[in-house]
Amino acid sequence: MKKSILIACCLAAMAFNMACGKKSMVMLAPDPDGSVGRITVANEAGSVDIDQANLATVIRSPEAAPRAPEPLDPAKVEALFGQVVANQPLPPLHFRLHFESDSVRLLPDSRRQLTEIVEAIEARSPTRVSVVGHTDTMGDKVYNVQLSLRRAITVRQLLIDRGIDAAFIDVVSHGQENPLVKTPDNVANAQNRRVEVVIR
């Protein structure tokens, strides 16, 4: 009798493991710049916050709350995650190009930066490049959407002229809606008259 109960328990445990046996581990790692973020790990049974680097929680089933976070041994971090961390893609590069007022003419410093941008695109191959146009808040909103689009298209063409494949360049226009420096409406601002080039 005792034996059969034991067997029944074993079978129940096996069935439970098959259904919910997907044990997960979640660890908060330091950012590449050394700062530390914050995560919340939650299911129906409970939740834990982690805001210190190298603390990990284990979740055994949707019915069991995530375990209290504990430090993970560095050797274990390396064994479990060393390779994925080593294979992390590089952070995208962001360049800012600046323009004359109400114009698609690049300022001289920005024009000189094009060479560096082209080299970066070639070094990052395979890549995808976004060219995002912006204006300051001078003038009409709708006009500015078109001006920032013309600025972005101009930069795209300058990159194509320097040998970059057009298929890898996306053009986006943000008009005056996404300023670098917040200003009231109808304020000229050289910083905000820009195209941002993102190289991934």
Partner 1 sequence: MRHAIACLLCLGLVWIGTSTAVAEEIFISIVKSVEGGATITRGDTTHAVTSGMEVKRADIIRTDRNGHVGLVFSDDTRISIGPGTELTIDSYLFEPLENNLSFVLRLVRGTVSYLSGQIAKLAPEAVQLVLPAATIGVRGTHVLIKVD
Q: How far is the CB of 186 from partner 1 (least distance, A)?
A: 20
In the region spanning residues 109 to 138, those forming contacts with partner 1, defined by CB under 8 A, are 125-128, 130
Q: How far is the CB of 108 from partner 1 (least distance, A)?
A: 27
Q: Does 60 sit near partner 1 (CB under 8 A)? A: yes
Q: Are strands 39-43 and 46-50 parallel, antiparallel or unpaired?
A: antiparallel
Q: Would you tell me how many other CB atoms lie within 10 Å of the CB of residue 135?
A: 30
Q: Is 80 exposed, middle or buried (0-12, 13-18, 19+ CB in 10 A)?
A: middle
Q: Considering only residues 107, 118, 120, 172, which one is a binding residue for partner 1 as defined by CB under 8 A?
A: 172
Q: Is 32 exposed, middle or buried (0-12, 13-18, 19+ CB in 10 A)?
A: exposed
The C-alpha atoms of residue 188 and residue 50 are separated, in whole angstroms, by 44
Q: Does 179 sit near partner 1 (CB under 8 A)? A: no
In the region spanning residues 21 to 40, those forming contacts with partner 1, defined by CB under 8 A, are 21-32, 35, 37-40
The total number of residues shown for the chain amounts to 200
Q: How far is the CB of 157 from partner 1 (least distance, A)?
A: 13
26 versus 187: smaller Cβ distance to partner 1: 26
* Ordered DSSP codes for 161-186: HTT--GGGEEEEE-TTSS-SS---TT
Q: Considering only residues 55, 59, 104, 117, which one is a binding residue for partner 1 as defined by CB under 8 A?
A: 59
In the region spanning residues 85 to 114, those forming contacts with partner 1, defined by CB under 8 A, are 85, 87-92
Q: Does 71 sit near partner 1 (CB under 8 A)? A: no
Residue 32's SS3 state is: coil
Q: What is the contact surface with partner 1 in residues (CB under 8 A)?
A: 20-32, 35, 37-43, 56, 59-62, 64, 66, 77, 80-81, 83-85, 87-92, 125-128, 130, 145-146, 149, 153, 170-175, 177-178, 198, 200
